[in-house]
Chains A and B, each alone.
Chain A
Amino acid sequence: MSNTAVESAAGDPVIQLVTFRLKEETYGINVMQVQEVLRVTEIAPVPGAPGYVLGIINLRGNVVTVIDTRTRFGLPTTERDDSSRIVIIESEQQVVGILVDSVAEVVELRQSEIDSAPSIGSEESSRYIQGVASRDEDLLIVVDLNRLLSEEEWSEMAVF
């Protein structure tokens, strides 16, 4: 993950994360990979797309594929509501949208605050978890967007 330092102290860069909610947990992604956050509009389904692809949206003339993050993370799906958002992200591969329950805030963390908890992210099903960080009373789960999909899946995404 190419975290961008906005400040550095003794080689410990500060990174900014956009946090969002999925189920009961809070996740964070590098703010530099977030292009914008949209309210949920009409998502046109694409026949033959993988199960985690909700469909496509027209973003100012550009077609953007929207991923159902809950499905991708192995969480139960839920009805979209007023809090639901599509976060437009730019990974190393391409621009996609990820549907999340809600977007919370932008937080700053020092890189050293991100702890790679034992075994977290080692499983295939949680490989996109970079680590966790303590925030107030909760734990923030830091996501590496570049690992959200495999290379093959990113390639597959390009055809939509």
Chain B
Amino acid sequence: MSAAPVRPSRLAAHDNALHGLLESLLAELPEEVEALPAAAQPALATVHAPAPGPGGVAAVPLNDQAARPLTAQVSPPSTPADPAVPAWGAQGFRALLFRIGAYRFAMPLVLLRSIAPLAERLTGVAGRPAWQLGLLRYRGRPVLVTDLGPLLGIQARCAAPRYLLVIGDGRTAVACDQIEQAVVVGTGDVRWRAAAAGRAVWLAGLLLRQMCAVLDADVIDERIRHG
């Protein structure tokens, strides 16, 4: 699951795409949190992403590990914009970095039920909307696999889904092209969404060093369930 070499042309496309997405996302965030004190940003510690078993599912008890709060965290910088820090992010968290098309995203491990390689054909239900890629039988029950871009109304498209990020109660999943790594994130490493930021509540914030969106998987799961 290590990152494949990226060609210059793909890098340029990624930069453009990333710039566009972050611009739109940042537009919903307050300007007051622009400058975070450097001293308040602990170094990110990289941990290994779980590898899937052969022909099966990486049955990693993500929640059990990730639910434990990290120690020695730095308090978030106070901002007048009243950032909406979710409970799982209040004392730092671990996040999985993954890619959909040219975009990189981060998802808190505490909200991630499991990671599964997409080895089977998806069952396509006739009349399904574009954001529904299809159904997959996973651990004995159907899981709805979704394309995050059309679901959230952003440009990312999962053209060749290879992995599933199973969320919620295990009946919904987000497809992605590539799993990168898991990182430990301190509260100062995130620009949290403002509480009054409005519509993009699926966006918990931005990882400042990776410059990628942190997704609130619970909100995404809810959106999937309500179409």
Chain A residues in the interface with B (C-beta under 8 A): 22-25, 27, 73-75, 115, 117-120, 122-123, 125-126, 128-129, 132, 134, 138-139, 141
Contact = CB atoms under 8 A, between A and B. Distances in A.
A141 B140 contact: no
Contacts of A22: 126
B123 A119 contact: no
A117 B142 contact: yes
B128 interface: yes
B140 A134 contact: yes
A25 B124 contact: yes
Contacts of A24: 121, 124
B48 interface: no
Contacts of A139: 123, 135, 137, 142
Given A117-B171, A119-B226, A138 B128 contact: no
Q: Which of A23, A118, A123 has the most CB of B within 10 A?
A: A118
A138 B172 CA distance: 18
B129 A123 contact: yes
Interface residues of B, number: 23
A128 B126 CA distance: 10
Nearest to B141: A115
Contact of B142 (A123, A126, A128, A134): A134
Contact of A119 (B126, B137, B140, B227): B227
B111 interface: no
Residue from A24, A74, A120 with most neighbouring chain B CB atoms (10 Å)? A120
A118 B142 CA distance: 9
Interface centre among B123, B168, B172, B225 (most CB of A within 10 A): B123
Given A129-B126, A141-B126, 5 more contacts: A117-B135, A134-B137, A138-B123, A139-B137, A141-B123
Interface of B: 121, 123-129, 132, 135, 137, 140-144, 168, 171-172, 224-227
A119 B127 contact: no
Contact of B227 (A115, A117, A122): A122
Contacts of A73: 126-127
A8 to B, nearest CB: 23
Contact of A23 (B126, B128, B140): B126
A25 B140 CA distance: 19
Nearest to A132: B142
Given A24-B124, A25-B126, A119 B225 contact: yes
B225 A118 contact: yes
B124 A123 contact: no
B172 A118 contact: yes
A74 B127 contact: yes
Which of B121, B140, B142 has the largest count of A CB atoms less than 10 A from its CB?
Answer: B142
9 contacts: A75-B126, A115-B141, A118-B224, A119-B132, A120-B132, A123-B128, A126-B125, A134-B140, A139-B142
Cβ-closest 5 pairs across A and B: A73-B126, A125-B127, A126-B127, A139-B123, A117-B142
A128 B127 CA distance: 9
B59 to A, nearest CB: 19
A123 B135 contact: no
